[in-house]
Structure 1
């Protein structure tokens, strides 16, 4: 059975954990911008960690259920309702035929995740159904298109429902001041001590120019001694410094290579936190050791995957 898409919202994409092993062919990973919210949604439902779900940016999505199922909603608070009654993120909900799930405008955060018990039926392209519009890969029909009005999101119905909630300690505050750890990147040494101090002591504002490819930030200029570099592979969370000195944080749908100097790189969990910040919000940076990022990830994986 299925959900009927009454309104696709601003941008709703089908995402699993991403397309791995093809960056050498110029194919990016895709996958959820906020891995923390993504994996918690599947954990609440007892799904396999990689199970696909909807990533909803800015809200406005409306779905009508045609069968009984169980859903989890995590991530941003997008003023969600179930049959016109407000519901909160980080919980599971039982869904009955003719129920209508609607999301409004963001109250906190930017991206919500809606998972269904067992996942949605969608074709896999190169081992994943994650949507990357630029590459025409993934999504409901495998062609990289976002969810559209009139689409039918099919799933295996179930009457099994368990009321689950995310522990309070695991629920982020997307309005809280955000300080992100930065690991040194290959061109870190091309930035003078003064340039590095400027970067690590200055606030940066999330600009209007943000998407799944990258987050452009606005603030104190940072300059490298290099005019450019030979294009090289780019990791999720890499922080490029173009000629205007304004940082660009590369996200899940980034190009696979680039030629701007990189002052450092965020951890995947750090980049996920950034992906929940809206234009006008402020972020700051601090130095981070690779070992600290590894510990952070291992602790997260232990909670998520046992």
Structure 2
């Protein structure tokens, strides 16, 4: 046993890169809300990109090490402490038996990622250990449950990793102004030009109604001329607009089909940036050509995957 969960905090979930190939059966792919932080954690440990990690949302999680283990911490600054010492995210650390790793309240960002050398040893379901509570899939107990006090986590190896960190240019500032590129979808023609201009020139506020399924935003209304559509498949990052005109950005645990018009879609990296924002934060949007999103992703993949 590598870790014992003393306090699971608000929401701590085991996640790998996701469960793919089952959306036609109504099973969403889950996975990390912030791919940038997740993949960098595995990168600095020399792990497989898919190695399982813990996604810690809002903090308050306390873990106790029961064997020597190399870890990486990325994503939100949840005021983490190793025993009594404050530690920074975007770095690796060496833990020894008896060490306690504690996450407190967010200082910057919302979701932290804790990776271990070669990943947590968790039995997959449908090719993934990613926890999707709504579908009762994945996680330590294989029924979609979040981590709970008393849970024991195994690791795949005792490989020691020298201290390293993510390069400074790759560390995001979660407190800076956020403007996200939107790739217009085929239903954007149902939004008049004045409505689209309002959407792209307004600021929206992250509402209290956010979770791993979706981020509901509050701001100027952007209504479609469509009163409804036949339910269809939904992409990660799709921006649905229900009848009240308040956009909903669909996230990793979204339903696989939906019947609201969509003005466009964020890239996966863009949706990950939004996933680090909390209620009350502001976000704006701008039109993005799909080629721009592809270039951004290729550069990221080259750094993380070497391809």
- TM-score range normalised by the length of the shorter chain: over 0.9
Residues 1-50 of structure 1, C-alpha deviations (whole Å, 9 max, x = no match):
32010000000000000000000000001000000000000001000000
TM-score (norm 2): 0.99
Given that 1:122 and 1:141 are in contact with CA atoms closer than 8 Å, whether structure 2 keeps it comes out as: no
Residues 145-165 of structure 1, C-alpha deviations (whole Å, 9 max, x = no match):
000000001114525231110
What pairs up with 1:108-257 in 2 under 5 angstroms?
Answer: 108-158=108-158, 160-257=160-257
Q: What residue ranges of structure 2 are gaps of 5+ in the alignment? A: none
Given that 1:123 and 1:141 are in contact with CA atoms closer than 8 Å, whether structure 2 keeps it comes out as: no
What pairs up with 1:63-102 in 2 under 5 angstroms?
Answer: 63-102=63-102
Matched, 1:43 2:6: no
Q: What residue ranges of structure 1 are gaps of 5+ in the alignment? A: none
How much has 1:186 moved relative to structure 2? 2.3
Given that 1:77 and 1:106 are in contact with CA atoms closer than 8 Å, whether structure 2 keeps it comes out as: yes
CA-based RMSD of the aligned residues comes to 0.7
Separation (CA, whole Å) in 2 of partners of 1:35 and 1:162: 23
Given that 2:117 and 2:159 are in contact with CA atoms closer than 8 Å, whether structure 1 keeps it comes out as: no
Residues 167-208 of structure 1, C-alpha deviations (whole Å, 9 max, x = no match):
000000000000000001121100000000010000000000
Residues 202-245 of structure 1, C-alpha deviations (whole Å, 9 max, x = no match):
00000000000000000000010000000000000000000000
Give the corresponding residue for 2:56. Answer: 56
Given that 1:67 and 1:157 are in contact with CA atoms closer than 8 Å, whether structure 2 keeps it comes out as: no
Given that 2:190 and 2:225 are in contact with CA atoms closer than 8 Å, whether structure 1 keeps it comes out as: yes
How much has 1:282 moved relative to structure 2? 0.3
Structure 1 runs of 4+ with >2 Å offset = none
